[in-house]
Amino acid sequence: MRMFPAMMPELAELARLPLEQALNATLAADPASQASLRGLSGKRIRIDLKGLFSLDLLPMNGELVVAGPGPDAPDATLRASPLGFLRARMRGDLMGRDIELIGDSHVTVRTARLLGGLKPDIEMALEPHVGMLLAHQVGRLWHGVSDELRRFADHRLRDNADYLRDETDLLPYRAELDLWFDAVDRVRDGVETLEARVRRLTGGHR
């Protein structure tokens, strides 16, 4: 027996508005996610929950518009499925063929940061429209994938920082920063000592 119905345009339309409302309600209370959203303005992000529905997220005017898949190619696409998520969990390799985030590298990282930071109550939003069982499964899948996107974004940002340090010398290592801060402290202490001596000498001539 199949746990999920085949993907239907009707299901996407039923989920579209409540999902948009839930995402924007969470977004309005999360300044960090608002900052991530600004970096995605004008982009098209496709959410393809295989076997369930496919929708596009359109960041504009500080909000997310949720629409049906448009004819334009998305800038980033997140693909996941309930069974694929379970397989990925068992392997311990979540960002792989069962959960994919593809597209422009900068957009995918920003998308991962945005969706990884949002925690809307998907189940509550969808239940009146698609039923309790399906709402529960979509909510569970969404939050599981969201956690992995947050880890993926953190990993990519660490990789980029390592690259800038190792290949371009644009970012210093922590040890180098500590040495620099120590040197600054010594210079500041020396200046303060010199100022104190000057004040004593000046006072002695009065």
Tokens of 73: 């190619």
pLDDT above 90 (res 153):
no
User: Which residue type is seen at 176?
Assistant: E
Q: For tokens 């969404």, name the residue.
A: 142
The reported pLDDT for the residue numbered 79 is 86
CA atoms of 28 and 123, how far apart (whole Å)? 19
CA distance 78 to 55: 10
Q: Is it the case that residue 8 has pLDDT exceeding 50?
A: yes
For residue 140, count CB atoms less than 10 angstroms from its CB and return exposed for 0-12, middle for 13-18, buried for 19 or more. Answer: middle
pTM (2 d.p.): 0.66
Write out pLDDT tens, residues 95-105: 555 678 889 88
DSSP conformation class of 59: E
Q: Which amino acid makes up residue 66? A: V
What number is the average pLDDT over the span 145-161? 71
Q: Which pLDDT belongs to residue 164?
A: 43
pLDDT digits (tens, 9 = 90+) for 126-141: 999 888 988 888 888 8
Is the pLDDT score of 66 beyond 90? yes
Q: Which residue has the tokens 């960090």?
A: 32
At residue 170, the pLDDT reads 46
The mean per-residue pLDDT over the stretch 99-124 comes to: 88
- At residue 89 the predicted structure's pLDDT band, cuts being 50, 70 and 90, is low
**CA dist list (Å): 113 to 19, 35, 164, 179, 180:** 18, 10, 20, 32, 32
What does the pLDDT look like over 67-79, one tens digit per residue?
Answer: 998 899 999 998 8
